Amino acid sequence: MHLFVTAIGTDSGKTLVSAILTKALEATYWKPVQAGEPTDTQTIQGLIPDVKIIPELYKLAIPASPHFAASQAGINIDLHELRIPPLETEHLVVEGAGGLMVPLNEKDFVIDIPQFLSLEVVLVVNLYLGCINHSLLAINEINRRNVRVKGIVFNGDLHNDSAEFIAQYAGWPVLAHIPKLNEITPKVIAQMAQELLPALV
């Protein structure tokens, strides 16, 4: 199983979800485009000490949209340079940067990565006032591009009927609902991974 974790916006919980998926599947983790420090790869390594990692292809210093961070470093992010190397595990979890419509360069966006690499999308929806609008726009764009979808993960405290409405509109499986966590530790990740695994198989 090769999954791509994206979200309706920045700071939606992609790294948390990626950690849970990686632990559940005993997968290899890859963040091909990283902007800023500390890196999400470092976070994953802290939460899953024995995780298999593919190093970042583009590791950018400025914590900004990849297209801008890359341009400031004199780099052009080339979608066609992305290749999945031989894996030590059966499964792969690839984490995107920001929301799904974040630009990589002048013509490519984050959502182009799963299309190019033939990955199934896991859409992370963090629950807040306004998330329905952002989620439906994301769902429409994913459908417009005919991207394969594994399912939705809701992140945060339930907000009215937002999650139910979004799930019904999408018509995709809901893989998990992650409540607001007081702490994120390897033990918490392992527990949530065990709970999530049945939804993946």
d(CA 65, CA 84): 23
Q: What is the DSSP string of 1-48?
A: -EEEEEESSTTSSHHHHHHHHHHHHT-EEE-SEEESSS-HHHHHHHH-
The residue annotated as part of the active site, out of 31, 107, 150, 180, is 31
31 catalytically annotated: yes
> Which pair of tokens denotes residue 196?
């999530």
Cβ 57 vs Cβ 39: under 8 Å: no
Q: Which residues are catalytic?
A: 31
